[in-house]
Amino acid sequence: MKQEAHMANSFGLQNPLELCLNKARSEFTRSDILRVIEEMKIEFLSFHYTGLDGKLKALRLPVQNREQVQELLAEGERADGSSLFRGLVDTACSDLYVVPVYRTAFLNPFSENTLGIMCRFFDRDGNLASFALGTILHEASRLLKDSTGLSLHALGELEFFLLYRPDTEDGEHYPLPMQSGYHATGPFVKNGAIVEEMVRHISRITGSVKYAHSEVGVIRNLASNIPEIDGRFGEQWEIEFLPAPVADMADDLVIAKWIVRNVAQQHGCIATFAPKLEEGVAGNGFHFHMMLKDGDKNVMVEDDGSLSSSAKQLIGGICHYADSLTAFGNTVSSAYLRLVPGQEAPTRVCWSDLNRTAMIRVPLGWQTVHELAGNLNPRGENDSLSGKSRQTVELRTADGSALIHLILSGITMAAQWGLTHMEESLQIAEQLYLPVADSRKKDFLDQLPPLPRSCVESARVLRENAGLYTRDGIFPQSILQYMIELLKSEDDENMNQRLTSMPADQRLNESLKIMHGNLHRH
């Protein structure tokens, strides 16, 4: 059976394996994967997983005979845990099993006739490896479901800069004014076709892309002591996803970052998710939207469109965890050059409706309006939709240095805490609500709890609040200690005060060193 034979009544970016097998990827079985391998003449299996750095890893397995493939799909393979989780796994007993999750199978866009598939880590006794990032998120999700009956769905807003060389020696034609790239089109943005290529690949693999657009940030002739980026121009872009169960979203986002970097490289560009690249230019956030579901029903709003008690408990839980969550969502010093006043980035623990300076924002969610296009267009016979709620709440602290599985694990633990400490979480939500009218009143803002101002401070807060994460055996102490040491190694306490005290030229040079010191962390 040829893949093309199933495309006639499909959508252009639909998952090709779903089309080949005529079933949703959530239903893929071992025999389905074997059928794909045989009928599509797959030459390599690529087992993928994330190590301690959060980046996508690969083990390439040549496809040679049916018996070999059946064994790989049933039993998985071995990997060296001491290399993937350095410092957490003893080299004397470091073997781990990597076992494929069939529903994650995809055609590798960068390697012909290669089938990729995400894996989970198991120990020698056949248990999920407790220190693996995917295991932590899996267990946090299980705890939430078992204790509340609800599941957490999330979506990520993946922001990045594409750094490129201009086509002409004197710069470029149709230059964009600084800080004016939001939703811009060609010829003012130059790399739309590259981003469309990224979105095609991510969509066909995950099926969870909502949209892509150019973002605010514009850079010209970037000054840096890093040859990789010195002299390049930059455009900021965003790829936003559709809500999915948190564990699935984490894998989708890791794959997306891998695709963004690879496509950029193929076109001679550098893609970086670094939190900050230049003073006065927007930084790269990594916002997460959350939605609580009871089965298939979004329970974030009441019938009148107001936020439900569950939604407010979710908000209260995230506020309770907020200062320690930066340990997973803001892991490099430059992150704290982004979390400053006046940058559409939060500095205080609070939530608000629509307000982009609040830590948690409640965006428009079609609560009380539906099918608005009917006000502008003729109606057809089958135009009616169900009008399901799309309400989310958005956490705006994290940036491109985030460890995706760990920040989503922390958010899930916060949600579980809020939903099981109902009165306390509702009280927190009530106390930390920021009315729009007060959002610019310094006296009011100064009363709100501050977020950490450095990696060192985030490490200290995480150590003091470790019990929020180790409870119920979800986060191993070894992972928290790893994060604490990683953050402390940035040695950035009082960084912003120190920079402010410097002469302008010295401050700029020192800021650039900090901003460009971790271009590709996580």
DSSP string, 176-239: PPTT--TT--TTTSS-HHHHHHHHHHHHHHHS-EEEEEEEEEEESS---S-TTTTT-EEEEEEE
Q: What is the pLDDT of residues 385-404, one digit of tens each?
A: 766 889 999 999 999 999 99
At residue 442, the pLDDT reads: 76
At residue 5, the pLDDT reads: 40
User: Does residue 4 carry a pLDDT above 60?
Assistant: no
* Cα dist from 385 to 209, 373, 374, 388, 389, whole Å: 21, 12, 11, 8, 11
At residue 60, the pLDDT reads: 98
At residue 439, the pLDDT reads: 66
Share of the chain above pLDDT 90, in %: 85
At residue 171, the pLDDT reads: 67
Stated as kind and residue range, the H or E segment containing 514 is helix 504-515
383 pLDDT band, cuts 50/70/90, is: confident
6 pLDDT band, cuts 50/70/90, is: very low
369 pLDDT band, cuts 50/70/90, is: confident
User: Does residue 2 carry a pLDDT above 70?
Assistant: no
Q: What are phi and psi of 122, to 5 degrees?
A: -125, 150
User: Does residue 149 carry a pLDDT above 90?
Assistant: yes
Domains, the chain, ordered by start: 9-129 (3.10.20.70), 140-367+390-515 (3.30.590.10)
At residue 510, the pLDDT reads: 96
Mean pLDDT of 222-238: 96
Count other Cβ atoms within 10 Å, centred on residue 280: 8
At residue 91, the pLDDT reads: 64
Q: What is the pLDDT of residues 13-62, one digit of tens each?
A: 999 999 999 999 999 999 999 999 999 999 999 999 999 999 999 999 99
Question: 173 or 455: which carries more pLDDT confidence?
Answer: 455
Q: What is the pLDDT of residues 405-459, one digit of tens each?
A: 999 999 999 999 999 999 999 999 999 999 876 667 778 888 999 999 999 999 9
At residue 110, the pLDDT reads: 98
- DSSP strand pairing (297-298 vs 77-80): unpaired
pTM: 0.95
At residue 368, the pLDDT reads: 79
Residues pairing with 154 in the sheet? 244, 290
Distance CA 412, CA 401 (A): 19
What average pLDDT does the structure give for the chain? 94
Q: Which range has the worst mean pLDDT, 79-93, 219-233, 322-336?
A: 79-93
User: Does residue 8 carry a pLDDT above 50?
Assistant: no
Q: What is the pLDDT of residues 470-482, one digit of tens each?
A: 999 999 999 999 9
At residue 329, the pLDDT reads: 99
Distance CA 457, CA 184 (A): 38
3 pLDDT band, cuts 50/70/90, is: very low
Distance CA 336, CA 140 (A): 27
